[in-house]
Amino acid sequence: MDGPWVPKGILVCLLVALLPCAMLQSLASGARDRIQLREEARRMFYHAYDNYMQYAFPHDELKPLSRTYTDSLAELGNLNHEHLPEHYNGTALTLVESLSSLAILGNATEFVKAVLWLGENLSFDVDVRVNLFECNIRLLGGLISAHLLAIEFFEGLIPGGYKNQLLHLADDLGQRLLPAFETPTGIPYAWINLKYGVMMDETLETSTSGCGTLILEMGALSRLTRNSKYEDAALKALRKLWSMRSSLDLMGTTLNVATGTWIQHSSGIGAGVDSFYEYLLKAHILFGGQEYWDMFRQAYVAVQQYFRHGPWYHEADMRTGRATYWQLTSLQAFWPSVQVLIGDVVAANATHREFVSVWEKHGVIPERYLLDIGSIHPTESYYPLRPELAESTLYLYQATKDPWYLDVGEKLLTSLNNLTRVDGGYASIRDVTTMELEDHQHSYFLSEMCKYLYLLFDDTFLSNRNYIFSTEGHPLPVLRAWQQWTPSVPPKAITESKGEAETEHTNSSAMESQVCPDFRGLSLSPQRVESACHVLDGHEDHRCTSDDGCGIDAATCRKRTCSSVGYCGLWKKG
Ligand SMILES: *[C@@H]1O[C@H](CO)[C@@H](O)[C@H](O)[C@H]1NC(C)=O
Ligand SMILES: *[C@@H]1O[C@H](CO)[C@@H](O)[C@H](O)[C@H]1NC(C)=O
Ligand SMILES: *[C@@H]1O[C@H](CO)[C@@H](O)[C@H](O)[C@H]1NC(C)=O
Ligand SMILES: *[C@@H]1O[C@H](CO)[C@@H](O)[C@H](O)[C@H]1NC(C)=O
Ligand SMILES: *[C@@H]1O[C@H](CO)[C@@H](O)[C@H](O)[C@H]1NC(C)=O
Ligand SMILES: *[C@@H]1O[C@H](CO)[C@@H](O)[C@H](O)[C@H]1NC(C)=O
């Protein structure tokens, strides 16, 4: 967040200079077939998992260089390691995060063993201060997703039967998170002590993603426990947050939970905001209804309008829409996956290709890249095993079945094995310019990176059921009963949910459905926005130069083309 503002003209030049020659060479076409690559992705998961189990479990995460552990859930963002209890054994974070991957890899034995261990040994009654957002997406989401997978796949295999162990843990954890929401605005504190609630003098500052990425897990937990309190809290916070948008429909990055005022007015689609957008759309897919879609559509249109510059996204001031930082961040690589879900595949493809070119240039994607001076950010030059490019690659492959994306997946696998694999697991990269390693294997490497790569090469898991993935890579089934649920009409009991899961599956995955709803209620003028799914780039005259600039039509989901005089539409060729 410290780059200078630079005029657009310079950016254009730099963008041209940035496009590496690698983009021009076609990726070496996959010599190995998908099955071999799938097995390589499987080996990657087990190398990470077995080392975690041997050297770190039940602590949170593995330190692969020193082969020891870190209780990172309590340490994330808690740089001084305050309030760590004595003899603390962590929350088995990486194991919880691995459950849905174990299910997708078909490892019933290990999944069942883990369920039994967690049911008997995991307790959240510990005096430890955790980050609400991380705790929600990693632990709560991991438990909820694994609970649903346990019912679907493993119920009969669990000795003594599945006793909803994971759901009870999730319910208990959910209750412990609720005190965070007791603020004048309903927007939760960023931190909470699992045993004692909000701590004295807790910081009032939170981020847009921190308080806007709760609804999937909380909404699912409400449906599974038939208690609306979780969804109520998360939805109230989300509505309040949304009400704080600017007249341009832009959000800031950080805010005060007590006053509901912005602290940092500049924002983009990367760190601090990213999954807020993702969850608006995914909440619409998972829970149905118009409200989430309306919020998402407005927010998406504003992003395309004010942050987009060709295939890149910069940051802008929410009040003026003026560009602030010309920086690319590694987390932005998730954006094409959101675009695939709404059917804007052409734009997704264009942005994804730019990220692939950065990956090829550097071997991985540096955390922050200065578009204005065309170099890696001096301090944020690390690569903490982030999975967002693998995620987008999977979504784009699902949407297009273009084998080029398999080649990208192969490239990711190869560089991860080349650059980050050590005897004790997979290590983050401290500095992309030197490839010096850091002693940390993040749990999302197992819940996301390994899973997305595996699914890229073998999508059997997706082919007969309709799942969406949380921002942490945990699958949640799209069920009609969940969409129809309201607190006053509770869904069937937890123990009956198996029947629902079996009958509600369709054969198409949400990744292929390309939710592309209609224009109803679109309040923006047609001159400004030609399609809810696609907004033209900010050329002065809003004219296109090629079909690729036109995206798809929101009403019909058909690809739009550029007319001879430069207007996008559903023109007939010829
Ligand atoms: C952590 O594990 C050790 C060894 O199993 C045990 O002695 C200790 O009581 C545990 N700590 C807590 C806080 O439960
Ligand atoms: C399941 O995981 C365990 C632990 O890594 C491993 O020993 C076992 O071979 C795996 N089973 C299958 C079927 O992959
Ligand atoms: C719970 O932890 C204890 C102590 O480490 C262990 O002996 C026991 O087997 C664990 N329970 C299960 C079901 O794995
Ligand atoms: C993605 O971009 C490449 C290069 O511009 C193009 O060849 C390909 O057809 C595009 N795919 C889609 C689905 O737009
Ligand atoms: C592995 O990484 C090294 C150092 O970055 C690089 O020189 C080499 O080309 C890479 N090999 C492969 C197969 O990617
Ligand atoms: C779903 O797939 C199964 C097996 O692939 C097939 O038998 C069934 O007819 C399909 N259902 C629909 C609604 O297409």
Given this model, what pLDDT does residue 394 score? 94
* pLDDT attached to residue 344: 76
Each residue's pLDDT tens digit, 516-537: 433 333 333 333 333 334 444 4
In the structure encoding, which two tokens stand for residue 62, read together? 């593995």
Given a contact cutoff of 8 angstroms between Cβ atoms, the answer to whether 377 and 366 are in contact is yes
- Cα 205 to ligand 1 centroid, rounded to whole Å: 33
CA atoms within a 13 Å half-sphere pointing along the CA-CB vector of 100: 35
Q: Is 367 a catalytic residue?
A: yes
Instruction: Report helix angle 274-287 to 290-306, nearest 10.
Output: 150
Closest residue by Cα to residue 3 from 378, 382, 381, 538:
378
Residue 12 has pLDDT above 90, yes or no: no
Ligand 4 atom closest to residue 548's alpha carbon, by position in its atom list: 14
Paired tokens of 318: 């929410």
Q: What average pLDDT does range 141-154 have in this prediction?
A: 96
Q: Report helix, strand or coil for 424.
A: coil
Bigger pLDDT: 559 or 120?
120
The mean per-residue pLDDT over the stretch 21-47 comes to 72
Which among 473, 394, 417 has a CA at the least distance from the CA of 47? 417
Annotated catalytic, 274?
A: yes
> What are the C-alpha distances in Å from 65 to residues 55, 385, 438?
11, 15, 8
Share of the chain above pLDDT 90, in %: 60
Mean pLDDT, residues 470-493 taken together: 76
Q: Is 120 in the pocket of ligand 3 (CB under 6 A)?
A: yes
For ligand 5, say whether the CB of 417 is within 6 Å of any of its atoms: no
pLDDT at 457 over 60: yes
Q: What is the pLDDT of residues 111-123, one digit of tens each?
A: 999 999 999 999 9
pLDDT of 478 reads 84
Is the C-beta atom of 108 inside 6 A of ligand 3?
A: no
| Residue 121 CB less than 6 A away from ligand 3 | yes
Ligand 3 contact, 117 CB (< 6 A): yes
What are the pLDDT digits (tens) for 326-335?
888 999 999 9
Residue 79: pLDDT above 70? Answer: no
CB 188 within 8 A of CB 241: no
Of 507, 508, 513, the residue with max ligand 6 atoms within 8 A of its CB, to mutate for a pocket test, comes to: 507
Q: Does residue 121 contact residue 96 with C-beta atoms inside 8 Å?
A: no
Mutate to test the pocket of ligand 4, among 346, 349, 357, 533 (most ligand atoms within 8 A of CB): 349
Our answer on whether the CB atom of 109 is closer than 6 Å to any ligand 2 atom is yes
What is the 508 CA–ligand 6 centroid distance (Å)? 9
Q: State phi, psi for 124 to the nearest 5 degrees.
A: -100, 5
**Ligand 1 atom closest to the CA of 89, numbered from 1:** 1
> Which tokens go with 104?
């997708």
Q: pLDDT above 70 covers what percent of the chain?
A: 79
The pTM assigned to this predicted structure is 0.84
How far apart are alpha carbons 362 and 37 in whole angstroms? Answer: 22
pLDDT in tens, 236-283: 999 999 999 999 999 999 999 999 999 999 999 998 999 999 999 999
Residue 326 pLDDT: 85
Look at residue 314 and tell me whether its pLDDT is greater than 50: yes
User: In this structure, are residues 195 and 125 in contact, taking their beta carbons and an 8 Å threshold?
Assistant: yes
Please report the atom of ligand 4 found closest to the CA of residue 400: 13
567 — pLDDT class (breaks 50, 70, 90):
low
Tell me what the pLDDT averaged over the chain comes to. Answer: 83
The predicted pLDDT at position 559 comes to 65
pLDDT band at 305 (very low <50, low <70, confident <90, very high): confident
For residue 274, what is the enclosing H or E element? helix 274-287
pLDDT value at residue 29: 43
- Mean pLDDT (whole number) for 42-51: 98
CA dist 353 → 292, 360, 450, 535, 552 (Å): 29, 10, 21, 19, 18
Asked if residue 450 has pLDDT above 50, the reply is yes
For the ranges 35-44, 189-198, 208-217, 547-556, which has the lowest average pLDDT?
547-556
Q: 371 and 308 in contact (C-beta within 8 Å)?
A: no
Pocket of ligand 5 contains residue 437 by CB under 6 Å: no
- Specify the higher pLDDT residue, 22 or 41: 41
**Which of the four pLDDT bands, split at 50, 70 and 90, describes residue 310?**
confident
Known active-site residue 172: no
Does pLDDT of 439 surpass 60? yes
- Select which of 61, 344, 388, 472 is catalytic: 388
What gap in Å lies between CA 355 and CA 282, rounded to an integer?
23
Binding residue per annotation — 460? Answer: no
pLDDT computed for residue 169 by the predictor: 98
- In this prediction, residue 101 has a pLDDT band, given cuts at 50, 70 and 90, of very high
Q: Among this protein's residues, is 171 annotated catalytic?
A: no
Domains identified in the chain and CATH numbers? 27-569 (1.50.10.10)
pLDDT per position as a tens digit, 484-507: 887 554 444 333 333 344 334 444
**CA 186, CA 257: separation in Å to the nearest integer?**
8
Tokens of 238: 């989300």
Q: Residue of the nearest CA to atom 4 in ligand 3?
A: 121
Ligand located closest to 118 CA: 3
DSSP string, 353-384: HHHHHHHHHHSS--SEEETTTTEE-SS---B-
Compare 193 and 23 and report the one with higher pLDDT. Answer: 193
Ligand nearest to the CA of 54: 2
Query: What tokens appear for 6 in the block?
Result: 């630079």
Ligand 6 in contact with 464 (CB < 6 A)? Answer: yes
Pairing between strand 436-438 and 312-313?
unpaired
Of 10-24, 33-47, 264-278, 546-560, the range with the lowest mean pLDDT is 10-24
pLDDT (average), residues 290-298: 87
Which is catalytic among the residues 134, 354, 410, 472?
Answer: 134
Query: What is the per-residue burial (b if ≥16 Cβ within 10 Å, else e) of 80-103?
Result: eeeeeeeeebbbbbbbbbbbbbbb
pLDDT grade, residue 176 (50/70/90)?
very high
pLDDT at 490: 43
